[in-house]
A = this chain, B = another copy of it.
Amino acid sequence: MRNLMVELADRRYPIAIGQHLFDDHALMTRHIASRQVMIVTNEVVAPLYLAKVSAHYEDRQLEVIILPDGEAFKTMDSAMTVFDRLLQQKFSRTAHLIALGGGVIGDLAGFAAACYQRGIPFVQMPTTLLSQVDSSVGGKTAVNHPLGKNMMGAFYQPKAVIADMTTLSTLNDRELAAGLAEVIKYGLIRDLEFFEWLEAHMEALVARDPEALATAVERSCQNKAMVVALDERETGERATLNLGHTFGHALETGLGYGAVLHGEAVAIGTLLAADLSSRLGYLEVADIDRIRRLLIRANLPTTVPEGLSPEEFLEHMAVDKKNVEGQLRLILLKRIGEAHLPMSVERGLIKQTLVSAIALHRPQGSL
């Protein structure tokens, strides 16, 4: 088992990364101090891991909420389902909430924990690569709004993160790839050495080599923990974690939650950000190709799906949280391994990137 600490201004919390952690009773009970425990999970994860996880809490007042799977259910309505049950069962402010699942479950359960009685403790048990390397670390919780992703939320840190790597064996290929998009992101924004390691080990990762995956998860979490420690509330450097996310969120919102996975949207968004970085003179065109090749080897999509015009795309980008009073602000790459802090980018230039990406769909010779 590998252990990391996330160090924040006024608290710290551990991340455990390893095989078969859900079988480790000492670990699974160490951070759950309450008699009242609620597990929030979904229909895909529950048949796989719920029995194993809940076995550790048989002596508690245990409640389980099983939500439908998918980003479309990361809503205030789902949060209300959690609040309803917590209140029906008279759960007090000392009750502990466990998020068992991917990023959607972690974000939703974390937001519910942040709000219930103004905050109850919660533990993240991420079961997807994406949530293990990204959403379970850093304390961003949220639900979606029809007009924008993650628009209602809270900065709220978990008590602990338990990342059982064995869960990655049941992940489908598409979800694995989606996680790799965020892994690659850490290399791109701040860790050239890691990016090069990924170039050398992508086949092992795609083949789910346990040692390679553990290294990728640990290195990603280390990178994220360092950024979050510097800037918990995203006033500066933390925003660089959003490379590709403004484009990505616009795709997710514009195509309807669930049409593309978050990681897939981030992969496409990363390439759009790279294209824009190159138009602004930061990145070599050869670097865009280098990024694209790695994304392709990770089985990630690299072209914008049909269904959004450049204008619609821009419209959805206009509600991004990094924007300031109508000015679009994006994370771009100075080079592979170094991101630029959020910068205002002229709409016309973004549109050039979008038009050239979306033009690929049009049959040659058409308008």
Contact = CB atoms under 8 A, between A and B. Distances in A.
Contacts of A323: 90, 92-93
Contacts of A326: 90, 92
The range of chain A's interface size is 35 or more
Nearest to A120: B321
Interface in A324-364: 324-326
B9 A321 contact: no
Contacts of A207: none
A147 interface: yes
A115 interface: yes
A92 B154 contact: no
A108 to B, nearest CB: 13
Contact of A9 (B10, B118, B318, B322): B10
Contacts of A87: 145, 147-148, 151, 319
Contacts of A148: 87
Interface in A92-145: 92-95, 114-119, 140, 142, 145
Chain copies in the assembly?
2
B90 A319 contact: yes
Contacts of A322: 93
B145 A83 contact: yes
Given A145-B83, A147-B87, A154 B115 contact: yes
A286 to B, nearest CB: 35
A319 to B, nearest CB: 6
A151 B79 CA distance: 13
A13 interface: no
Given A94-B324, A94-B325, A321-B93, A116 B9 contact: no
A366 interface: no
Contact of A118 (B80, B116, B142): B142
A88 interface: yes
A36 interface: yes
A299 interface: no
A196 B151 CA distance: 49
A78 interface: no
A226 interface: no
With most chain B CB atoms within 10 A of its CB, the pick from A9, A35, A118, A323 is A118
Interface of A: 9-10, 34-36, 61, 76, 80, 83-84, 87-88, 90, 92-95, 114-119, 140, 142, 145, 147-148, 150-155, 233, 318-319, 321-326
16 contacts: A83-B152, A84-B145, A84-B147, A87-B148, A87-B319, A90-B323, A90-B326, A92-B321, A92-B324, A93-B321, A93-B322, A94-B325, A114-B154, A115-B154, A118-B154, A118-B321
Given A84-B145, A87-B148, 4 more contacts: A84-B147, A87-B151, A92-B321, A118-B150
Q: Which 4 A-B pairs have the closest CB atoms?
A: A87-B147, A115-B152, A118-B153, A117-B321
